[in-house]
Homo-oligomer: A and B are copies of this chain.
Amino acid sequence: MTDIAEKVVAGDIRTVARLIRDIDDGMPEVRKVLKGLYPHTGRAYVIGITGAPGVGKSTLVDQMIAHLRKRDKTVGVLAVDPTSPFSGGAILGDRVRMQRHSMDQGVFIRSMATRGHFGGLTQSTRSAIDVLDAMGKDYILVETVGVGQDEVDVVRSAHTTVIVVIPGMGDDIQAIKAGILEIGDIFLINKADREGTDKTLSDLRLMIDMDQKKYDRGAWKPPILKVQAVFDQGVAEFLEEVDKHAKYLAETTGGVNFRRTKLKVRQELGEMIKSRLIEEVIDRLTDSGEFERAVESIVEGKIDPYTACENLVFPALT
């Protein structure tokens, strides 16, 4: 195990902070550290929280931290913003709301925004989860902004995925897309004092039930809860549902950590291979100038891009 890995396992805050920043920046050196940390992972319970901007995810996370701390659990938070490939950082304002936990040694909060390589965000979020896990955090909350494919991929690393909506979003419930529906283990209607809450609830119930019939999601029937995160209403009940879901997962895997099941490892390894492949090959083709020469040939009309692609890809493979 490297020095850095040892310090992470010992819970050294500054080392963890720097390591996560290096992961976010896509530094290749972190791989050695992550290999060393891996045997120390697999203990944390990961909760993914996703939903459109403005639904109150940060407030919810803030209340979750407070509840989990009351249970004497340590908490790591990763706030992930993949929707902001260029400008980054809008999420930082939200972080301020969580500041009441900033002096609490049992809580560790970081933002991530990687968009470097393909799979960058999913890969780096997963690595950051492993770091917080190895550091000894009992719960890791992964908050993502938005409801796109990136977010879906990011929360796939979670044990329990929570979808947060508010009453009357958009014209109708269409705003919750099919892909998102399917990954939700628990649905929360936040700001549930607003008009349209019951309509949203019945629409959601209908959609989830239809979904349940279409795809076999096992015995777990995703509950839909009304909450008002800002007043801490319904948050305790919500965490009880998380406990139930954790119990359900443990039962279906025979006690094995869900993130160590074949299903999850297959997903994780597949994505890791893809991003590594691209990194290696694109770097080589760029460094050798072959990529740029192919671009010029296409621009000059000497070759079509389909053939140019094959001419670059096949020689790179054994």
The answer on a CB contact under 8 Å between A272 and B148 is: no
Q: Which of A32-40, A98-106, A218-226 contacts B (4 or more CB under 8 A)?
A: A32-40
Task: Tell me the residues in window 31-82 of chain A with beta carbons closer than 8 Å to chain B beta carbons.
Answer: 31, 34-35, 38-39, 52-54, 82
Partner of A178, one of B54, B84, B177: B84
Which B residues are in CB contact (< 8 Å) with A53?
170-171, 174-175, 177
**A304-318: contact bitstring with B at CB < 8 Å (1 yes, 0 no)?**
111111101101111
1/0 contact trace for A166-201 toward B, CB 8 Å?
A: 100111101101110010000000000000000000
Q: Which residues of B contact A269 (CB under 8 A)?
A: 291, 294-295, 298, 305, 308-309
A281 and B86: CB pair below 8 A?
no
Q: Which residues of B contact A307 (CB under 8 A)?
A: 35
Across the interface, do B146 and A280 meet the contact criterion of CB distance under 8 Å? no
Q: How far is the CA of A83 from the CA of B174 in the complex (A)?
A: 11
A22 at the interface (CB under 8 A from B): no
- For A88, what are the chain B residues with a Cβ–Cβ distance below 8 Å? 178
> A87 at interface (Cβ–Cβ under 8 A)?
yes
**Interface of chain A: mostly helix, strand, loop or mixed:** helix
- A116 contacts chain B at the CB level, 8 A cutoff: no
Residue of B nearest to A256 (CB): B299
Contacts of A306 in B (CB 8 A): 31, 34-35, 38, 272
CA distance A53 to B171 in the complex (A): 8
27 chain-A/chain-B pairs, Cβ below 8 angstroms: A34-B304, A35-B304, A38-B304, A53-B174, A53-B175, A53-B177, A54-B171, A85-B152, A86-B178, A87-B211, A90-B178, A118-B118, A166-B171, A170-B170, A260-B299, A261-B299, A266-B295, A269-B291, A269-B305, A272-B306, A274-B282, A277-B281, A277-B317, A281-B317, A315-B318, A317-B317, A318-B318
A interface residue numbers (CB < 8 A to B): 31, 34-35, 38-39, 52-54, 82-88, 90, 118, 146-152, 166, 169-172, 174-175, 177-179, 182, 211, 214-215, 260-262, 265-266, 268-270, 272-274, 276-278, 280-282, 285, 291-292, 294-296, 298-299, 301, 304-310, 312-313, 315-318
